[in-house]
Structure 1
């Protein structure tokens, strides 16, 4: 039964675990201020099985585990006007039927970009100081090695960024604040973006690796980006170079990377992902001394997830006030998301 209110009716369409992770008490209070919302969690089955009960719903808040927005589901929500997704990519659940309805769709991918950029920044600093290698020496009972010069965090140290999406842009902004020399590769970005970020454009990906002390990957996983980073590129890193991947494992030729890291112990890899994330305990990369690996934790974790819920609520406020959305998606832009 619809709630009695002059505000548009909204509901949470999301698995309970995702709801608890993404929307905190502050977000729930703001949703209640902006819309007519009963604070309950619903599933697609709830809606499709009793469409009359939800016939006046105009706004949906969702997140990880959102159902497929197909024609059957949408027909049960004839007044749906806006879908605010408190997570990243929407490609797994939007359909042609959804786009044909011209429903406002936003994603919190820019909020999720923040912790990934933070993780990358920490990794860059540790890489330029050779922190992991020096830690390994101490664990092996070896004396601290001060004889080999480290790059350090200042002018003259060169960092390369692959792709200038939301994460890549944040990384560049943070890096330029550290007075580093930053280079970037993105064949789809306008020259104005490189200028605004104060980074030097590199036109060929294979040229980025030999010129940079650290290369960080932030390209989306698309059919055309699979195995984008080859073993030959990684092998062209300079002495004591570091490769960072917080994007997706499929974008890197994993067999080629393993071969290079085995042949060149001076190169270091910081990997938050593998092609098959079920192989963390058995993948030979994990055992290499020149690899630092984490189990896909660069993205939003713990309280960081609340940032995504807060953005979804802010998108709703903007929508109701007739203001521009932060991350409104179209069919074309949704296809480019990681």
Structure 2
């Protein structure tokens, strides 16, 4: 049986970042693929070559799939995206074609969950605060101010998307009280994760030793985490943000951290990511700041390409997608 024709359509520099040599070789084996990166400009300039392209493998910096580009790809039936958000390239014209679309965002959730898990453990041990004391020439023996990774310590998760679910699953190995806030999650999901639902953000912030933010950045979530919520945190609590900076009122966060030196913040994201070296957050002793490294990096990125490859296998076998993206479920995706 003739193999379906496929192409790689992403920025040239990202091909080897997202797709390992073995993944590229396998894709070239199961489909008719020349192993090189194609561009939207090439497709529009030489449409006859792309008339029979059925499958596209993509990744970061995919082109916008507008009507003109789709017209040059009349046989396109599946688009496997080896990265997270698809919002910047899907269009109404794309949805009208009923093309199968998948994302590797659940694969990208793994390193974010791992970063968060490490941060939660360090937070409950107050590791950063103790380290800061040492650098100031003090040994802080105040163990009574350490929550500890044990019964009685409470961790709050905001949003039970792919990352939030992974974290809850991994926290189940510890003797901790885990609660979550997600007004869109079903009761069955809370039961499946063995997590208690908290009805309001106020209740979550006021009752947790650690609060970890994983909500998607949507118009309705921008500025959702206010200074009033942060001020509710118990003494020596920690706030973690590996989501997006704009979900937090950053000016209020700075004010609260200055007024409440007992509170600690672990931040991998800020509102203006060109200002990591100049943000006032960097000057505060109760902040641990990293430059958006929680997501896939280095070899971890190959998970994304591996997932696109697996989605292709499922497509060719007539099986449902692992992570389908549809007009209905994209509404709540980051």
TM, length-normalised to structure 2:
0.98
Partner of residue 130 from structure 1, selected from 126, 136, 147: 126
Query: 1:49 & 1:206 partners in 2: Cα distance?
Result: 56
Query: 1:185 & 1:332 partners in 2: Cα distance?
Result: 22
> What aligned pairs does 1:1-338 form with structure 2 within 5 A after superposition?
6-338=2-334
Higher deviation after alignment, 133-142 or 86-95: 133-142
Query: Which residues of structure 2 form unaligned runs of 5+?
Result: none
Query: 1:215 & 1:89 partners in 2: Cα distance?
Result: 24
Query: 2:139 & 2:214 partners in 1: Cα distance?
Result: 36
Higher deviation after alignment, 136-145 or 83-92: 136-145
Query: Which residues of structure 1 form unaligned runs of 5+?
Result: none
Structure 1 residue 148: deviation in Å? Answer: 3.7
Structure 1 residue 147: deviation in Å? Answer: 4.7
For residue 211 of structure 2, give the secondary structure of its aligned residue in structure 1: strand
Structure 1 residue 55: deviation in Å? Answer: 0.5
Measured against aligned partners, the alpha-carbon deviations of 1:46-98 in whole angstroms (never above 9, x if no partner) come to 10110001111000000000000000000000000000000000000000000
Measured against aligned partners, the alpha-carbon deviations of 1:4-49 in whole angstroms (never above 9, x if no partner) come to x810000000111111110001111220221111101101001011
Q: Is the 8 A contact 2:130 2:139 kept in 1?
A: no
For residue 106 of structure 1, give the secondary structure of its aligned residue in structure 2: strand
Q: Is the 8 A contact 2:123 2:238 kept in 1?
A: yes
Query: 1:252 & 1:244 partners in 2: Cα distance?
Result: 11
Query: 1:111 & 1:96 partners in 2: Cα distance?
Result: 26
Query: 1:210 & 1:136 partners in 2: Cα distance?
Result: 25
Query: 1:200 & 1:22 partners in 2: Cα distance?
Result: 37
Matched length: 334
For residue 229 of structure 2, give the secondary structure of its aligned residue in structure 1: helix
Q: Is the 8 A contact 2:134 2:140 kept in 1?
A: yes
For residue 323 of structure 1, give the secondary structure of its aligned residue in structure 2: coil
Structure 1 residue 178: deviation in Å? Answer: 1.4
Q: Is the 8 A contact 1:91 1:335 kept in 2?
A: no
Q: Is the 8 A contact 1:62 1:85 kept in 2?
A: yes
Structure 1 residue 255: deviation in Å? Answer: 1.0
